[in-house]
Amino acid sequence: MGSASASRKWRMRFLYVLLGVGILFLQLLPLSHVPQGWAGPDFIVVLTIVWAARRPEFVPVVAVAGVVLLADFVLMRPPGLMAAIMVVARQMMRRQSHGLRDSTFANEWLTASAILIGIAVLYRLVLAVFLVDQAPLGLSVMQAFMNVAVYPLVAILSQVLVNVRKLSPGDDDTLAGAT
């Protein structure tokens, strides 16, 4: 039993990294030659928050830092800034995940929404402090709200397709350990 659960944990960690790299690949595809007037969600951020809220052992800090740092480099963002913010956000969601076990999805979504908006605000604030050029405020606000809006879809797809669901209060806590 312990070997099967440890094997599943490592498979899910590998799947998280694979999904992150896959999302990054899809973001790089030249699907349109016209600049977009709207900002879509950052699926790597939303996926990380969903999995950290439901099963934090599937998204270890090293994997989150590596995937988001790779995204920072490839998407030409300030290297390490979003990775550092996401590591902190992952830790915050890990702390909240135990309390979210027996709560409703609305409470989980509200908690995740606060963290997603906090990520956007902190990212813009740090860029402003260091006088780094930023996207217009409207696009940043739009992306933050798109992240919040797409959270239920990512949560449902994670649960249906790869069985990432919250542990029930009576489930075995051996997997919910720290990392």
- Is residue 7 situated within a structural domain? yes
132-170 pLDDT per residue, tens: 999 899 999 999 999 999 999 999 999 999 988 887 666
- Total domains in the chain come to 1
> What residue numbers bound the domain in which 81 lies?
2-26+40-162
Q: Is residue 122 part of a domain?
A: yes
pLDDT tens for each residue of 106-126: 999 999 999 999 999 999 999
Does residue 124 form part of some domain? yes
Residue 170 domain-assigned (yes or no): no
pTM for the model stands at: 0.89
Straight-line distance from the first to the last Cα atom of the chain, in angstroms, rounded to the nearest whole number? 20
Q: Quick check: is 19 in a domain?
A: yes
Calculated CA dihedral for residues 99, 158, 49, 148, nearest 10 degrees: -100
